[in-house]
Structure 1
Amino acid sequence: MTEQYLRAELAHWRGAITGLSDLDTVAAPAAWAMLEDYLRLRLRERLERSIAVLAAEGSAIAVSLDVGESPDRIRERLLVLRRRYIEVETVVDFYGDAVNSRTNAALGAVLGGLDTLACDSMEIVLRPLGIEVPPALVYVDKGMGAAILRAGVRLWGPGGVSPVAAIKLTRHNLGHPTALFHETGHQVAALTGWVPQLADALHSVLAGGSPAVADLWPGWASEIAADVHAFVLAGWSPIPALARVVDGPTSAVHRIRIGDPHPPAWLRVMFNAQLCRAAYGAGPWDDLTRTWTLRHDPRRAESAGARVAMASLPMLPRLAETCLTMAFPAFGGRAITALADPGLVSPAALEAFELQAGPALLTSAHLARRRPLQVVALLTRDEPPDPARAAAATRRLHGWLAKLAPIPLPSAA
């Protein structure tokens, strides 16, 4: 292996690192400009730090090559540099794609509002606990379901942890973006340590029945926690959108996937409807459960998942009550409903709020800051029966969200 060839290899990877350092080629300057200042600076600093570490490795290899380190050792270090480059490139491209979804100014303004709303949704639970609210970066992508890369998660390659909660919303659900509250629920649960406590509580509720059922539900605690978070913040509103996303053939909605933290779709929809029933009594969620029972009746399905559904069904009231009313150390010895009151987004409360707000609902900066989650719950509570009305509802929501973009990032108490 000639020194000349090694130098050419090293020059290639150092050149690639230099190219990666120009973040304005990763995402358009106009898209970066759509980010709130603090979010943009924090994200760019994280990416620049990762690239700087990589560049320093390349420089160190060059020095070693100049002073005569063995070709075999240089080759080993080059392979490490190449692997780390791919890791950093993956991180940079991930965030670059997320930022680039704001290239369109109108969509960028809506996503900026969703950034603010995401922080608002976390602040309600985290601020009374004295936990800092991480910044959020909401982006749009293809697919059926939303997702989150949590702030604080260690990323691939050098440079540290994720500096923001990066939340994917799907294009088809941008008119009903309530999955945002489920994803921020994952961040809240991680920061408070709620999931293992909830898993123990779910097991305790089910321990007297089927051992198989009692063993399954704790494994779903992370998704149940996120669903409960979405419910206490927005009430009924997130559930129709959830049902659309998880629907499918009857065999699929009852399927239990080993290692999957999501409950089977039918059981998940029934549990979410039970949260509404526990807090509000009768309502539109009853129509949803009837529809899903007619469509996917577990008594007509011959599968392990259907049997688990039937065994779990009588326990749903107790499970919902436990999630909503049990005091957890994660919340300072309080129930989650003591921090986020689902009564504020009940159908009756939203009707009264709409009447009180009147024409100011979409124009008042005071309401936008003091009651943003109620505004969103109100704007997304209905399911328009035709495309024209659905499009009008989306325009109304997006117009309001676009005005939220300049609002400062919340912080802990």
Structure 2
Amino acid sequence: MVNKPAYVRWMLMQEARAMLVRLSQVKPFVLTESTVPAANASLAAQSAIDRYLMAGRHTLRLQVQAYLHWLHGLDDENTHPAEAQQRLSLLRLRFNATLSQLDIFADVLTQRSEYETGIRLAGLDVVAADALRLENYYVPPPVICYLDRGSGAAIRRARTRLPGGGENPVAVIRVPRERMIGSGIASSLIHEVGHQAAALLNLTNSLRQVLQQQEREVKDSIWRHWERWISEIVADFWSVARVGVTSTLGLIGVVSLPRAFVFRMNMNDSHPFPWIRVILSCAMGQALYPHPQWHRLAQLWKSFYPKADLDTAGYTLLNQLEAGIPEFIDLLIHHQPRSLHGQSLIEVMDSANRQPDRLNAYFEHWQRAPAAMYRTAPTLVFAVIGQARSNGRMSPEQESAILTKLLTHWAIRSTLRTHATCVMPELTPPIVKVSS
């Protein structure tokens, strides 16, 4: 007759050992992904992901080994099948969580092997890193991008909790495949970058406190709406600040929906409803980059979705919100959170270099000297190209062709710089600062 406690221990040991075998088959991405070098995620991103996953595997392996050691120490009298099975079940849940985290990054990195798509994504990584850069205020995490269906973008921010526990080592940005390739992709991409920047600067919490105080002082419920939407408004602000009218045009492309959706006033949603969101974007553009184009764009949007047909309550709320925008935008751009060391938001953004007239001058120069465009910071390039599209000086066909070349160029340049720094640091030429 089989000794029951011994059989229990044997059976559970087999399961635990099988888990160790499967765990050993989970390899680092540097051993499993086959992409051309220019399509790779940045070295910092690859290293951060693999280090994180390797640490998780190592911890789980130690836990399984400790479980086996515990089983070996049991005798027939102190073997309790239910307890032993419970411990193994918890280990299996941790194992599945480890695999889930692996799959999050595998889904992103596997796209890098797609012909042409991988290199373009590597170029978007460079754009995202440039949009996130803010010297002297924080150390930006690595950023990686991938494509997915749908019209909206999303971000899994760095330093947030992953499924199963643990802190995400990189920012992962999902961008809509339907926006490849046009300047509008910068609007979606940099909006998501804005969420990461806001978290690094603690902007949302800082602004929320100011808005709550403002509501208490003036006793106006409109401030409650700005406070509810502030996380998305800050992200839109970051996008407008980085790429100007490119951001607003891209936003219009995303939220141009049937009328019922554009005016759907769900005040529990963290997103401003589309109609007011576009008007806010135009107002932010006017505050950062004064120019008649913002009024013209706002009027165009209003002609697409006239508010006259709204019911009395909706019409009244819309007018109250629109009337409160100037005061709110003034508070937003002059906000001075502790993280900016006494500077305001408008002061730390490169607004002087992105005024419409300046962007037009860049475009004129690049018409004569196209090579200069390839030496310019990616976000500034998107701002210039979007401005040219807005002015009717560049067709969609020209825009797509140029951006395809630029994304490839940025991917290759980033790869070559990384390889040169790693292989021959003493021969790496100094990086010349270019317009940003």
Q: Which band: TM-score by shorter chain?
A: 0.7 to 0.9
Deviations, residues 23-60 of structure 1 (Å, cap 9, x unaligned): 478x6322787223232122111112112222222222
* Partners of 2:91 and 2:271 in 1: CA distance: 37
Are 1:42 and 2:52 counterparts? no
* Partners of 2:268 and 2:22 in 1: CA distance: 38
* Partners of 1:358 and 1:8 in 2: CA distance: 70
- State whether residues 31 and 100 of structure 1, in contact with CA within 8 Å, keep that contact through their aligned partners in structure 2: no
Deviations, residues 177-204 of structure 1 (Å, cap 9, x unaligned): 2122111111111111111222234445
Q: CA deviation at 1:391?
A: 3.9
* Partners of 1:42 and 1:114 in 2: CA distance: 19
Are 1:274 and 2:283 counterparts? yes
Q: CA deviation at 1:389?
A: 4.3
- State whether residues 173 and 192 of structure 2, in contact with CA within 8 Å, keep that contact through their aligned partners in structure 1: yes
Q: CA deviation at 1:400?
A: 0.9
Aligned residues: 401
Q: 1:185 aligns with which of 177, 181, 194?
A: 194
Deviations, residues 274-327 of structure 1 (Å, cap 9, x unaligned): 112233444443343223323333342238665432211011112222222333
The CA RMSD over aligned residues, in Å, is 2.9
**Partner residue, 1:346:** 355
**Partner residue, 2:34:** 29
**Partner residue, 2:146:** 139
- State whether residues 241 and 350 of structure 2, in contact with CA within 8 Å, keep that contact through their aligned partners in structure 1: yes
Q: CA deviation at 1:222?
A: 1.0
Q: CA deviation at 1:18?
A: 3.0
**Partner residue, 1:230:** 239
- State whether residues 210 and 311 of structure 1, in contact with CA within 8 Å, keep that contact through their aligned partners in structure 2: no
- State whether residues 6 and 75 of structure 1, in contact with CA within 8 Å, keep that contact through their aligned partners in structure 2: yes
* Partners of 2:81 and 2:312 in 1: CA distance: 60
Correspondence list, 1:141-160, <5 A: 141-157=148-164, 160=166
Q: CA deviation at 1:119?
A: 1.6
Larger CA deviation: 272-281 vs 262-271: 272-281
Provide closer, same or farther for how the CA distance between residues 59 and 201 of structure 1 changes in structure 2, counting only shifts above 3 A: same
Are 1:113 and 2:118 counterparts? no
Provide closer, same or farther for how the CA distance between residues 5 and 304 of structure 1 changes in structure 2, counting only shifts above 3 A: farther
Provide closer, same or farther for how the CA distance between residues 140 and 363 of structure 1 changes in structure 2, counting only shifts above 3 A: farther
- State whether residues 64 and 91 of structure 2, in contact with CA within 8 Å, keep that contact through their aligned partners in structure 1: yes
Q: 1:98 aligns with which of 90, 104, 108?
A: 108
- State whether residues 155 and 162 of structure 1, in contact with CA within 8 Å, keep that contact through their aligned partners in structure 2: yes
Provide closer, same or farther for how the CA distance between residues 301 and 64 of structure 1 changes in structure 2, counting only shifts above 3 A: same
Provide closer, same or farther for how the CA distance between residues 277 and 261 of structure 1 changes in structure 2, counting only shifts above 3 A: same
* Partners of 1:139 and 1:184 in 2: CA distance: 14
Are 1:75 and 2:85 counterparts? yes
Aligned identity (percent) is: 23
Aligned AA for 1:98? V
- State whether residues 159 and 168 of structure 2, in contact with CA within 8 Å, keep that contact through their aligned partners in structure 1: yes
- TM-score (normalised: structure 2): 0.82
- State whether residues 245 and 386 of structure 2, in contact with CA within 8 Å, keep that contact through their aligned partners in structure 1: no
**Partner residue, 1:402:** 408
* Partners of 1:214 and 1:337 in 2: CA distance: 21
Provide closer, same or farther for how the CA distance between residues 268 and 6 of structure 1 changes in structure 2, counting only shifts above 3 A: same
Aligned AA for 1:156? P
Q: 2:325 aligns with which of 305, 316, 327?
A: 316
**Partner residue, 1:288:** 297
- State whether residues 324 and 335 of structure 1, in contact with CA within 8 Å, keep that contact through their aligned partners in structure 2: yes
**Partner residue, 2:173:** 167
Larger CA deviation: 348-357 vs 275-284: 275-284
Larger CA deviation: 233-242 vs 65-74: 65-74
Deviations, residues 369-395 of structure 1 (Å, cap 9, x unaligned): xx4322121123355899x94243212
**Which SS does the other structure have where 1:35 is aligned?**
coil
* Partners of 2:214 and 2:388 in 1: CA distance: 34
Deviations, residues 192-226 of structure 1 (Å, cap 9, x unaligned): 11112222344456667674322221121111111
Consecutive unaligned residues of structure 1, counting only runs of 5 or more, are: none
* Partners of 1:292 and 1:208 in 2: CA distance: 33
**Which SS does the other structure have where 1:292 is aligned?**
helix
**Which SS does the other structure have where 1:138 is aligned?**
strand
Bigger Rg, which one: 2
* Partners of 1:144 and 1:210 in 2: CA distance: 38
Correspondence list, 1:251-270, <5 A: 251-257=260-266, 259-270=268-279
Q: CA deviation at 1:62?
A: 2.2
**Which SS does the other structure have where 1:20 is aligned?**
coil
Aligned AA for 2:168? S
- State whether residues 298 and 310 of structure 1, in contact with CA within 8 Å, keep that contact through their aligned partners in structure 2: no
Q: 1:128 aligns with which of 136, 144, 149?
A: 136
**Which SS does the other structure have where 2:145 is aligned?**
strand
Provide closer, same or farther for how the CA distance between residues 207 and 271 of structure 1 changes in structure 2, counting only shifts above 3 A: farther
**Partner residue, 1:241:** 250
Are 1:212 and 2:221 counterparts? yes
- State whether residues 298 and 307 of structure 1, in contact with CA within 8 Å, keep that contact through their aligned partners in structure 2: no
Query: Which one has more relative contact order, counting CA pairs under 8 Å at least 6 apart?
Result: 1
